Amino acid sequence: MRVKIMESKIEENNGERRVVLSGRVNIEDAPKLRDLLLDSLKSSDNVSVNLKDAEDFDLACLQVLCSAHHTAGTMGKSFSIADSFPAALEQTVNESGLLRDHGCMNDVTQTCIWVEKKWKEHKA
């Protein structure tokens, strides 16, 4: 089965901007994903990414998500992954070694998206 290319849409609700992604999310999509997230952070104080319909991930896009979280923190804004984490994302995060007990030194808001506790909450 061929995985479809990354598709995106923007939803706005009560001051929150949600970037909804589906299909493949990999290195070829990293520039588009970066631009989507940066534009969203410029437009809203609260940005989340819905990945539940995304089917494939690679480290490049995980790095873009991490960078967006860091950028949000430096801008005094909120960035999170919404809803549930798809199995493909969980597998890539586990294989990459990104899961951690606490955020990195750049996690000024203490809301790191790779903290294992958050992943467990999303599974509940």
Count of domains in the chain?
A: 1
Would residue 1 count as lying in a domain? no
Would residue 102 count as lying in a domain? yes
Would residue 17 count as lying in a domain? yes
Would residue 13 count as lying in a domain? yes
Q: Report the length, in residues, of the chain.
A: 124
Would residue 95 count as lying in a domain? yes
User: Is 113:69 a contact under the CB 8 Å cutoff?
Assistant: yes
Lowest mean pLDDT among 5-14, 48-57, 86-95: 86-95
Closest C-alpha to 109, from 62, 72, 63, 66 = 72
Would residue 34 count as lying in a domain? yes
Q: What is the DSSP letter of 28?
A: G
CATH code for position 33: 3.30.750.24
Can you give the pLDDT at residue 42? 96
Would residue 2 count as lying in a domain? no
Its pTM stands at 0.87
| Model confidence pLDDT, tens digit, residues 3-38 | 578 999 999 999 899 999 999 999 999 999 999 999
User: Is 8:21 a contact under the CB 8 Å cutoff?
Assistant: yes
pLDDT band, very low/low/confident/very high, at 122 (cuts 50, 70, 90) = low
Domain that holds residue 82: 7-123
The mean pLDDT value of the chain amounts to 87
